[in-house]
Amino acid sequence: MTNPEQAMNENTTLLTSLTGFATRVNEHERVPRLIKGWNPTVVVEALDTGAIVSVVVRDSKVERVVEGAQEDSHSITVQGDEELLTQIFEGVTNPAEAVLEGGLAVFGTAQDQTKLDALTLVLWGI
Amino acid sequence: MSSPPKRSAFEMAFYISVCAGMAMGTSSFLIVAGAFEALSAGFVLLAIVAAMTFCVLISSPIAEMAAMFPSSPGVRTYVRQAYGDRVSLFVVFLYLLFVVVAAGAEAYMFGYVVRAIVPQIGMWVAALALIALVAGVNWLGVTPSRRTQILTTAILSLGVLAFGGGALVSGVTSASAPAAATLSTGEQLAALPTVMGICVFLFIGFEWVTPLGFGPDAYARKIPLAMPAGIGLNGLLYLVFVAGIAQVMSPAEISATPAPQLPLARKLLGDAGLGAALALCVFATTSTFNAGVMGGARLVYALARERRLPAWCAYFHAERGVPRGAIALLAALCAVSTAIIIAWDVQLAAACLASTLICTVYAALMASARKLRQTQAKRRRSFRARFGETPMLVLAILVFGLGLASIGAEPRQTLEVAAATAACGLAAVALARWSLGLSGKSGKAAPAKASPAEDSATT
């Protein structure tokens, strides 16, 4: 069982990781073309700690990263343990391999899944 | 959080339409014709009910594995978790071979129907144009919406129901004597397992819904319910169609053509019926073919991303989110398969081969579900099949047996189908070995390196 203080810390870890991811996305010169016309909210849920962070993509960039699940008509849910999620959004782990292993679940259309995969390829080449 | 009832109903309708629409192809009518070669109408109905029951039972352990590994690339993950990389790759390559063979049979049937109705269009042209069209549309990233998927399946279902139901109430009866009635009950009972085996072909593809869950909640109830519902819907449609066509045509007439829906349509509606049959064929083939090519392409892409296939197979158009390398590969293989089937006129043998391959894959899935109950007993499952490990083992053996039996469903080409089955098995073994060698180490992805996919994002 995770106490609230731990949860806060762990949430901060995921939030920090995704904030770093957002900065990298917004600073990368090739990413805007990749996500042009693609405006989802990616809800990232850590199954072990309960931390939830939403990444809102608008107009070819990450508009904001916020704690909690944001409602959106076009949303993608990404689930896994917090350590794995952090590794993925920091470019340490190949998400395709994580999905194959069953550690990561991505709920969205096939096109959404390919776009997310493309982001990791362009950012880190993994 | 539970979804609103309206969204929930839409979601359920989408899942059922995927399960049912995937299986309802033009080659389904070829299977019906093949079944009437050996059996009378009553036994054909029995074979369909038995194959449907098998598929419903098989869907439950598949749903359990989907609940364990939601959104994963299905068969690749399930078998890998149970038996490791080597066996998983073998089964995945069998699965891809099945897609290629089934797509070839479907394209053949499309060409056959088009040529029968519009003789100016050659069979080769129609079949290869179909492949080019579906590949081109997918290449451009034009994917049907979920609403379109539901609508297409609904129209298709109503069309099949109209043909079958129309025949039942038409009052038209067959003039010629039923050929299969010359077979004794004992002979028909002996042929029943073989026909049951190929009748599994009528329901294949129901499991393609497993990576498509809208969210984690889908795997607890909706997907486990959608699979038997989709199979049941298809079963009902085939039963009505078979009962109807058997009323209007004799078994000899039905089995004399690979597309018995055409003479049926003519008997019911005259020449105007052929237009309806063509429309039905276009709906059935494009939806099945599109789903098959796209589903297969995703599997090829996933394999390439984990370095189990060459990097060019992972080439994709980033802006459109389309795995172009995988689509091109599958389209090319489907074209080759179609060419072989047309050139040698082996459409029923191809369907038998496809049935054998998919039954083997289903057997591997049942064995995997059983093994995962033992090795990953504590892993969270939002859905659990209502039967234990022994029934799963029995199902695995039975469905494998059905696959073997379907080798003999085309008596004139049993040896050829057996040889093709063995060739596919050897090819899958060779591909698995080659694939394992690509990454240099088992079970883990190779170190990252520049991929054509990355290049595509910049062009």
Does residue B306 contact residue B47 with C-beta atoms inside 8 Å? no
B439 has a chain A CB within 8 A of its CB: no
Asked if pLDDT for residue B93 goes beyond 90, the answer is: yes
Mean pLDDT value of segment B369-389:
94
Q: What share of chain B is helix, strand, coil (3-state, %, to 5)?
A: 80, 0, 20
Q: With contact defined as beta carbons under 8 Å apart, do B34 and B198 qualify?
A: yes
> What does pLDDT average to over chain A?
87
Token pair for A24: 């990298």
C-alpha distance from B322 to closest chain A C-alpha (Å): 7
Q: Do B458 and A30 touch (CB under 8 A)?
A: yes
Average pLDDT on A12-30 reads 92
User: Which phi and psi angles does B322 have, rounded to 5°?
Assistant: -115, 125
In chain A, what residues touch B293 (CB-CB under 8 Å)?
Answer: none
Does the structure show a pLDDT above 80 at A29?
yes
Mean pLDDT of B13-18: 94
pLDDT at res. B446? 36
Find out whether B94 and B424 touch, Cβ atoms under 8 Å.
yes
Report the Cα B335 to chain-centroid distance in Å. 17
Chain B residue numbers with beta carbons less than 8 Å from the beta carbon of A110 are: 143, 294, 298, 321
pLDDT band at residue B182 using 50, 70 and 90 as cut-offs: low
pLDDT at position B176 is 57
* B302: nearest CB among A100, A115, A125: A100
**Over residues B117-126, mean pLDDT:** 94
How confident is the model over B241-291, as pLDDT tens digits? 999 999 999 999 999 999 999 999 999 999 889 999 999 999 899 888 878
The verdict on B213 touching A (C-beta cutoff 8 Å) is: yes
Calculate the average pLDDT of chain B.
89
Shortest CA distance from A105: residue in chain B: B71
Q: For residues B429 and B215, which has the higher predicted lDDT (pLDDT)? A: B429
Candidates B292, B370, B266; CA nearest to B97 is B292
* CB–CB contact B457 A118 (8 Å): yes
Contact assignment for A96 to B141 by CB distance below 8 Å: no
Break chain A down into helix, strand, coil percent, rounded to 5: 45, 25, 30
Q: Are B103 and B334 in contact (CB under 8 A)?
A: yes
What is the structure's pLDDT at B175? 62
Say yes or no to pLDDT of B166 above 80.
yes
Identity (one letter) of the amino acid at B59?
A: S
- Decide if B72 and A99 are in contact by the 8 Å CB cutoff: yes
Contact A7, A20 (CB under 8 A): no
Percentage of residues in chain A with pLDDT exceeding 70?
90
Q: Do A114 and B143 touch (CB under 8 A)?
A: no
User: Which whole number is the average pLDDT over A11-30?
Assistant: 90
A31-79: pLDDT as tens digits = 998 898 899 999 999 999 999 999 999 999 999 999 999 989 899 999 9
**Rounded Cα gap, residues B128 and B289, in angstroms:** 12
Q: Which of A90, A121, A123, A126 to mutate to test the interface with B (most CBs of B within 10 A)?
A: A121
CA atoms within 13 A on the CB side of B270: 1
- Best of B10, B69, B149, B209 to disrupt the A interface by mutation (most A CBs within 10 Å)? B69
pTM of the model: 0.90
